[in-house]
Structure 1
Amino acid sequence: MRFSSRDDAQLSVDLQEQVGGIVIARVHGELAVGSEPLLGAYLEALWERPDLRGLVVDVTEVGFCDSVGLGELIGAYNRCQAQTVAFTLAGVNGMVARLLNVTGLRATFAVFPDAEAATTHLAANPETGR
């Protein structure tokens, strides 16, 4: 399932259900001012799911991320923490990697090279994602 913010979407999100209550949100495009409400709105629907155990946000295809986009990731992380849902980032590279390193947030998030590695880890460590 793909969600887009508008016809000329700068951001889209693909939802992939995994076994055991793990969801992969593959983010494509720009995670920035003007596109962040889509990500927040998309993730908002997940919080109603009683079977949600883990969320993998795959940012491999994110070409640009600003402080607002980073704030969306932090908000999702905080929401997961509040609901005892494991949160991981996958495919962190480029601009997202630089932002996490510069802000010191790299140590906060569980980061994996790809969504498959994150999913495997969450299946083995469902409590915290670490």
Structure 2
Amino acid sequence: MLFAPGDARLTLIAALRHDSDAIIIQVGGEFDIASVPTWREHLGRVWELSGVPALVLDFTDLVFCDTAGLGELVRAFKRSQARGTRLVLTGVDGPMRRILDLTGLREIFEIRPTTADAMSVL
């Protein structure tokens, strides 16, 4: 896991993987105002590609999400809609589930239990 220099605070960890049917981003650590630049960097790589049929965001290893993280997730949803890219969330338990439930946003996202489940329906 990644730590900021001289800081015991966990930062966002994102791993980008390309599959023939989707791009998968595994998100772990903290999804907050401090990690938004890392998030935007990873998503920027996705949006530079043309013809991405689906984007799977795996939140299995997420430990925290604040409103800045949630805002970035909503922006990703809007961008995927505009591009015609299917967006699927996986590993939505713990902090991500709680924030989506509290805000009522759970209903707008396609959610699957695991990345394998998401890939099976793409």
With normalisation by structure 2, the TM-score equals 0.89
Question: What is the aligned partner in structure 2 of residue 38 from structure 1?
Answer: 38
> 1:1-16 alignment to 2 at 5 Å?
10-16=11-17
Give the AA of the match of 2:103.
T
| Distance in structure 2 (CA, Å) of the matches to 1:39 and 1:58 | 13
Q: Secondary structure at the match of 1:19?
A: coil
Gaps of 5+ in 2: none
| Distance in structure 2 (CA, Å) of the matches to 1:23 and 1:32 | 22
- Check whether the contact 1:5–1:38 (CA below 8 A) recurs between aligned residues: no
Q: Report how far residue 51 of structure 1 moved.
A: 3.1
Question: What is the aligned partner in structure 1 of residue 76 from structure 2?
Answer: 76
| Distance in structure 1 (CA, Å) of the matches to 2:4 and 2:13 | 9
| Distance in structure 1 (CA, Å) of the matches to 2:77 and 2:70 | 11
- Check whether the contact 1:88–1:110 (CA below 8 A) recurs between aligned residues: yes
Gaps of 5+ in 1: 123-130
Q: Report how far residue 31 of structure 1 moved.
A: 0.4
| Distance in structure 1 (CA, Å) of the matches to 2:107 and 2:59 | 17
Distance of aligned partners of 1:24 and 1:110 in 2 relative to their CA distance in 1, 3 Å threshold: same
Which consecutive aligned stretches of 4+ in structure 1 deviate over 3 angstroms post-superposition? 4-9
Give the AA of the match of 2:47.
W
> 1:1-130 alignment to 2 at 5 Å?
10-20=11-21, 22-122=22-122
- Check whether the contact 1:91–1:114 (CA below 8 A) recurs between aligned residues: yes
Root-mean-square deviation (CA, aligned residues, Å) is: 1.7
The count of corresponding residues between Structure 1 and Structure 2 is 118
Q: Report how far residue 48 of structure 1 moved.
A: 1.5
With normalisation by structure 1, the TM-score equals 0.84
Q: Secondary structure at the match of 1:47?
A: helix
